[in-house]
Chain A
């Protein structure tokens, strides 16, 4: 396994907000090169890099930027989604806390391309200590001439602001995030228009995840083709994965695309904890799919995952061992979505509540086979008719667990929880 560190190379090795230490460790080479290039040239390199959005939606970033570049309207805004709220995800936190200048450099290159004068980093409220680090890094970059007015003497200006989220999962959705930046409740907007045409303050907005922006300095520096070659044919570069749950070595790992899920859990993660057996892996956060042991040899790259009906999402790899019960686990997942649904559209607002009620019934031994069918039907409706990605993806864990562990659900209708996690017979326990 080739050990390539692009995003995590400086983690723990430099003072996070020090421009000097960042430069000594190879920082700002991307920006220095970018300002000698034509905007279209940089976008071309990004397209060659096969960089896909790292926040979860996996849209090709080069194409997104090409479209945004083509929009003729001023001013344009650059926004960074650092509202890392997907359960089991803690990768952006590492970048923000340990190498924030990498993100700032990526955004500054973006500003150079788009001609944006102002940018916003929307960081979740729970990361208040990290917000201070990022603010300090911004100030230091300004003092050193890498941000602010007349950057690198090239006559372009760019200023960055840190905005604190206030605890709403739905604000990870692009248009909801923009609403929140405008000081409103974070409910998603109708699309189209897309934020690239009509985003923050109704102006063209380029919005990407922390990790996506952080890939850009390297792409400019080494070139798109070289960057792409770190990964697989169609999934360029490296990815930060967040390994958590019942696994020995939990943490953030930078991997080249192409490793299998098994290699990640057993080679990097040291296997399942306490000699227990792996039951399933929840991939991509709570909105992602659950996969059984038999799919562990799937490679981490967009094509192979898609073939198996999976998606990488935010890069969360949550290992669940065989002492856990699927119904009980799902209840925890659905409680989260029920709480976080913004209430704007009916399928999501009602669907999550009903699914949770049915799961509670099952966990109390009151569920029936008809309830399982009802769950499938509700899940399908939510997936097809919810207004935004939250509602569309909320039942994914349920659908996939039903696919691979339907027997366990059926056992619950007969009043049996093999793992002893569900209260059964005792009513109203929550």
Chain B
């Protein structure tokens, strides 16, 4: 197991070098490179930031600055299922607070945390422009709208069941 992780990691760093090479001479390339790097690694740990800084010839402080300024970039690994509940005002007046509390309760994690098994992370997001469907949450790229506490309970139960089954299948 240990070696396979290592190989796959170095493979990812090779891909990162390619991404950097492709963008190197474009003005304003730092953010696009970081987008692609995050897609590749799932997050932006210091070693990835260092490679980007050296590759694009920008100070590491700038890379770190950008990584921490924008909410889409994360320095910590997120869950396999990233759950984002919108707390924009349009969702808020439709009861989004109850939705996020329900999800946190079911996953037994706080907002902003990732579950210990690395399966779920829960965040409150700003308005995602789906106000017509408020209240909304997203699980990875999938959008769930017009939520109620009952509805969200059902949806989360399905995810919990799915990973429960996966675990059994692996065992």
Residues of A within 8 A of B (CB): 84-90, 93, 124-129, 163-169, 180-186, 201, 242, 244-246, 250-252, 282, 286, 316, 318, 320-321, 324, 329, 332-333, 335-336, 339-340, 342
Contacts and interface: CB of A to CB of B under 8 A. Distances in A.
Contacts of B128: 126
A90 B129 contact: yes
Contact of A85 (B31, B35, B69, B126): B126
Residue among B28, B32, B34 having the largest count of chain A Cβ atoms under 10 Å: B28
A246 B93 contact: yes
B89 A184 contact: no
Interface of B: 27-32, 34-35, 62, 65-66, 69-73, 87-90, 92-94, 125-134, 141
A155 to B, nearest CB: 26
B156 to A, nearest CB: 22
A318 B93 contact: yes
Contacts of B65: 184-185
Contacts of A333: 89
A245 B94 contact: yes
25 contacts: A87-B88, A87-B89, A87-B90, A89-B131, A90-B132, A125-B35, A127-B129, A129-B141, A163-B28, A164-B31, A167-B71, A183-B27, A183-B29, A183-B31, A185-B65, A185-B66, A185-B70, A201-B27, A244-B131, A245-B90, A245-B93, A245-B94, A282-B89, A332-B92, A336-B126
B27 A329 contact: no
A323 B124 CA distance: 23
Which DSSP category, helix, strand, loop or mixed, fits chain A's interface? Answer: mixed
A318 B89 CA distance: 8
Contacts of A318: 89-90, 93, 131
B131 A332 contact: no
Contact of A86 (B35, B66, B127): B127
Contacts of B28: 163, 181-183, 201
B32 A186 contact: no
A268 B88 CA distance: 23
Contacts of B132: 90, 242, 244, 250-252
